[in-house]
Amino acid sequence: MTSTWVEPSNTATALLLLGRGSDTATERGVECPGDLPAPSDPDLVARAAAAKAALGTKVFVLGHHYQRDEVIQFADVTGDSFKLAREAAARPDAEYIVFCGVHFMAESADILTSDAQKVILPDLAAGCSMADMAVLTQVETAWDTLTDLGIAAETVPVTYMNSSADIKGFVGRNGGVVCTSSNAKRALDWAFEQGRKVLFLPDQHLGRNTAVLEMGFSLDDCVLYDPHKPGGGLTPEQLRDAKMILWRGHCSVHGRFTLDSVNDVRERVPGVNVLVHPECRHEVVNAADLVGSTEFIIRTIEAAPAGSAWAVGTELNLVRRLALAHPDKQIMFLDRAVCYCSTMNRIDLPHLVWALEELVAGRVVNQITVDPETARHARSALDQMLALPGA
């Protein structure tokens, strides 16, 4: 099978960044079909509360940790992407699941909920740049390369939760597993029981950090596959010898933290604890005091003694919320520059009010649906993750 990836034009890309237009090969969607309330409307909070109250138990609002405070205040549950998808599945009586997150999260919720439930993303342009870095046609081309080299049969695909339904479906079709940032080692342990090597999608940093720092692999055991280069920019020998074939993808937020960021904060704040997410670069994770998932970061800060100082390498909305919740501790952003997740930040109060009020009016907007075949295979990869020891 031969697939071709087409680079979008500059004009198309610009429109997508504005939330206009569409690209079926990416997570990014289209502009809202209705008129949004003005951000300056002083009644937005009251309108959101009234619409949510009118819907009652018919609606269940999920809020990812990286969302704005103005949105989080209306969430029934907050959490990371996998926790929220499971929470959605645990609410079978909720007719509407309003997912304040990004596109791949809403897809996962649709996969895990019943056909009778409708998953809604308040802004379809809320995508994930990391998920967009692994497009199905690219991954199929990479798999063809491995097949031609005679090594696909001994390669197990593993995809991070932060990937599209198409990629999860590909992994499920090819006997692989989904992982989260907290169970990546368990997923890789399982994968290496099934085969000799792993194709890890789409976040190179989580794959590398887990393999090297938790499983005892060397950096030489890992190669970086670039989907924009023939053969991934690797020789057949490199692909045959590698244990971990890492996809060239990363988080635009966590990828910005550098070793200089760590050294700078240690010079400025004596005794500071550096706490980072495993999506950060390898050298940053190596230099940190503690590394863990979003939920791990929250638990660590909550359990920390009063007076302790923490530099946190993750999205700014969460860091700011932790600082406000724990005024007895010194909590700061690891990098001096402000850095929100730009696509996650697209879900704002006007979009939430619009989506809720449309539901009150009997109109379902921005529904996220995954086709049954893709959902079936993606569900098998998710179920395999749930079956991991200790899951």
Known binding-site residues equal 64, 81, 128, 160-162, 181, 251, 277-279, 294, 341
In the annotated binding site for [4Fe-4S] cluster, the residues are: 128, 251, 341
Max CA distance (Å), the chain: 63
Answer whether 201's CB lies under 8 Å from 157's CB: yes
The residue among 350, 357, 345 whose CA lies nearest residue 59 is: 357
Residue with tokens 């009778």: 116
The sign of the CA dihedral 130, 5, 100, 125 is: positive
Residue 26 CB neighbours (<10 A)? 19
Q: Which residues contact 105 (CB under 8 A, 6 or more apart)?
A: 64, 81, 84, 85, 99
Closest CA to 336 of 261, 268, 241, 231: 261
Structure tokens at 128: 């994930």
Contact 346, 126 (CB under 8 A): yes
Residue set of the binding site for iminosuccinate: 64, 81, 160-162, 181, 277-279, 294
Instruction: Report whether 158 contacts 198 (CB < 8 A).
Output: yes
Q: Contact, 170 vs 139, CB < 8 A?
A: yes
Tokens of 266: 């240690």
Joined tokens for residue 205: 């940093």
In sequence order, the 6+-apart residues with CB closer than 8 A to the CB of 165 are 104, 107, 108, 110, 111, 370, 374, 375, 378
DSSP-derived secondary structure for 315-339: -HHHHHHHHHH-TTSEEEESSSS--
> For 258, left (φ over 0), alpha (ψ -120 to 50), or beta?
beta
Q: Give SS3 for 168.
A: helix
Q: Could you tell me which of 99, 281, 81 has the C-alpha nearest to residue 168?
A: 81
Q: Compute how many other C-beta atoms are within 10 angstroms of the C-beta atom of residue 365.
A: 20
